[in-house]
Structure 1
């Protein structure tokens, strides 16, 4: 990142970049979280009506998991695209893929209308959603990272991460609004489809913003020097396999708990604890709002104290909170339930999720950064985030206790701390340099850098 190493970039210069990466990311996560929420609450009776409630939820979570299987595939494909063609054009492509899949989900007939084809179509569209998200993250983070300066790399790279709580809050608000407008059976018949259709408008907003930014300075420099990698996937696996594996493990302590706090908790809270779904969504919305501020704050602190030290401390905090979280939930007192979700999401999760964008990305040189960072980040969705609600549902059905759930979070947090210890420290330093391999470097494909 030599172009900005010598000094700090201005907020004025970064504002349009942050806006383009964060707003686009928020739209894509709105799409992704809509499916998560409905999978945890109403998709079982609509698409798996012949199954008992627990099996129906598991089947619904399985189609939900398909999106997580697709994320590393999308990360690999669009990572290759982003390292060969550019960050900007890749981000526009993923935005449209995600939006189209989401709108089509709103059009899928239920099991009562077309039988087994209903969950089959949902699975296909969920896969496309996952592929879009898989390619989105790397580009949005690199957009901020490669425009920013070294001293505040964690802070700048954290802004696309805030797209997650924004998308989470928008999805929850859209769901609650449609439940209010379409009460009772009307929501199951037509109301649940409306939030998916709204995605079309959001995609147009994201497209308008993203077409008005320039390609990142680092990728532009690589093009000018004709140092674009010919086979970025092969090269990144050959030279950075250890960083990819550690990056995936690093995310265990935020990925698995996050999908317990935002997806599993809906079925657990309503079915097991008999809590009001409005209370749960209120807690999630408040936590998401606060996360918009706590993520950049945690990332700013990681620039000061170091990424490794911060991540290990935050992982241990997540481990400690694993048991109090379920105790607060089991109190069944609305304010304590909301407090449980706020602490879990806006403090414990945000402290990990904000800084990890820079922590992962700075381990890869610019030539391979989109591929390497995307693979490391998205593999965790396959190993930790995706299976978390399924594992939690099985643990609860087997042991009828929250203790195994707390132990599961504890284990994931310890894995994160160990992975952080194994990675290098790049805070306030030049990021990982490129490994120059002459035979794999070719002129960039023709593309518009504007």
Structure 2
């Protein structure tokens, strides 16, 4: 294959990863938005609004709990049989679950079974998303063309997240404008979920046209494909998995609060209108479309670790001013706070993909990076809205939530200090990755093949 053909297939792989990730995050964010707006009333009726909201966010949390399960399942197959086929499976699982959510009857129609069905489908969504990320990053970056631009290449699948959120918020906004509040609570909210069926077809068409990555093909030729990649990843790279989880702590929870929890807090505690908050989040997501690839590019220039540390420190500094601006109820300050929240988040989110993927050799890259990345769903992203709701209910002030944000950002900062920057090392072979590890530790080059691949 000529260099021109390799370059063309590499670019197609990045586009496929980005669009596929966008579709899956569109599906995932829809649930969070609906949980903040209507699910408490429709599926968890209660005389106490706080209890209903907490129950709705509990099902939101279950989607995060399921994500490490998806990371283990699809991580195994992604490292065992290939990146491409595994990503097709995650897309189907996510899309079908989302369409079914749009068809679930409410509490008034089938009682508690509506909440049960919603919970099961949310968990299936979480399993699909849990298996998506590691494969999307591998497909986008495991090409020699991107050796010096992995930060930028890996930021494009990350770009799919704000793009998916932008589409999800836009879909909810347009349907809420299309009729009365009563219409939205009965029919309108279901339409964005059903639209996912069309997106599945687009995503499948694009992903089926992508080649398997050269890195995985080379592992197959060298008989370096692990037989038990999840076991190998946990046994040999548990430290990287743990640090991956911890560096995400101060990135994922703030994102959930800046988008999902904001809608609940803004409408119920500050008395703001839903359309106003939707527009603010839409504007922030639109700005994030530019800042995500920019900070990915910047990480190629100054190093992944340095970029991440800058982002975590900035998040610490932003926690209290963010809520101070919201609590003024002054429209311009609220717009400014929401508008800059996601770009500040992107200072960690954009370099994160390459930073994490580079921490694992190719033989366990899908498994190791997925498990570490998705474990943060349990420790950070999933409980974030419930913790925020609890802190607000208990202390009656947003300063408690701000302190929580600052604390978890500090965890990310400290954890990133212990994760080595491999942005300039060989990424494409087990042997090259092992050589970089040995040089950094001052030891001999270890055997590159994974334990479970050895005869």
What TM-score, normalized by structure 2, do the two folds share? 0.93
Alignment correspondent of 1:446: none
Does residue 441 of structure 1 match 2:438?
no
After superposing the two structures, state which structure 1 stretch, 427-436 or 151-160, moved more.
427-436
The 5-angstrom pairing of residues 36-55 of structure 1 reads: 36-55=32-51
Name the CA distance, whole Å, in 1 between partners of 2:11 and 2:131. 23
Gaps of 5+ in 2: 435-446
Name the CA distance, whole Å, in 1 between partners of 2:115 and 2:160. 29
Name the CA distance, whole Å, in 2 between partners of 1:390 and 1:8. 50
Name the CA distance, whole Å, in 2 between partners of 1:202 and 1:353. 25
Alignment correspondent of 1:164: 161
Name the CA distance, whole Å, in 2 between partners of 1:11 and 1:219. 17
CA contact under 8 A between 1:298 and 1:355: conserved in structure 2?
yes
Q: Describe the SS at the equivalent of 1:151.
A: coil
Q: Describe the SS at the equivalent of 1:49.
A: coil
CA contact under 8 A between 1:264 and 1:389: conserved in structure 2?
yes
Residues 361-414 of structure 1: CA distance to partner in whole angstroms, max 9, x if unpaired? 001010100000000100011100000000000000001101111111101111
Name the CA distance, whole Å, in 2 between partners of 1:440 and 1:46. 49
Q: Describe the SS at the equivalent of 1:368.
A: helix
Q: Describe the SS at the equivalent of 1:430.
A: coil
CA contact under 8 A between 2:35 and 2:56: conserved in structure 1?
yes
Q: Describe the SS at the equivalent of 1:157.
A: helix
Alignment correspondent of 1:340: 337
Name the CA distance, whole Å, in 2 between partners of 1:150 and 1:382. 32
Alignment correspondent of 2:172: 175
The 5-angstrom pairing of residues 25-424 of structure 1 reads: 25-147=21-143, 148-345=145-342, 347-424=343-420
Distance 1:410 1:220, change over 3 A: same
CA contact under 8 A between 2:226 and 2:450: conserved in structure 1?
no
Name the CA distance, whole Å, in 2 between partners of 1:352 and 1:280. 24
Q: Describe the SS at the equivalent of 1:215.
A: coil
Name the CA distance, whole Å, in 2 between partners of 1:382 and 1:439. 29
Cα-Cα RMSD? 1.8
Name the CA distance, whole Å, in 2 between partners of 1:51 and 1:222. 59
Name the CA distance, whole Å, in 1 between partners of 2:221 and 2:42. 54
Name the CA distance, whole Å, in 1 between partners of 2:97 and 2:164. 16
**1:344 Cα offset (Å):** 0.7
Name the CA distance, whole Å, in 2 between partners of 1:394 and 1:439. 45
**1:9 Cα offset (Å):** 10
CA contact under 8 A between 1:253 and 1:412: conserved in structure 2?
yes
Distance 1:51 1:221, change over 3 A: farther
What TM-score, normalized by structure 1, do the two folds share? 0.94
Name the CA distance, whole Å, in 2 between partners of 1:334 and 1:201. 37
Gaps of 5+ in 1: 444-450
Aligned length: 437
CA contact under 8 A between 1:137 and 1:374: conserved in structure 2?
yes
Name the CA distance, whole Å, in 1 between partners of 2:346 and 2:12. 23
CA contact under 8 A between 1:83 and 1:228: conserved in structure 2?
yes
**1:438 Cα offset (Å):** 6.6
Name the CA distance, whole Å, in 2 between partners of 1:10 and 1:158. 20
**1:12 Cα offset (Å):** 4.6
**1:58 Cα offset (Å):** 0.2
Name the CA distance, whole Å, in 1 between partners of 2:174 and 2:314. 34
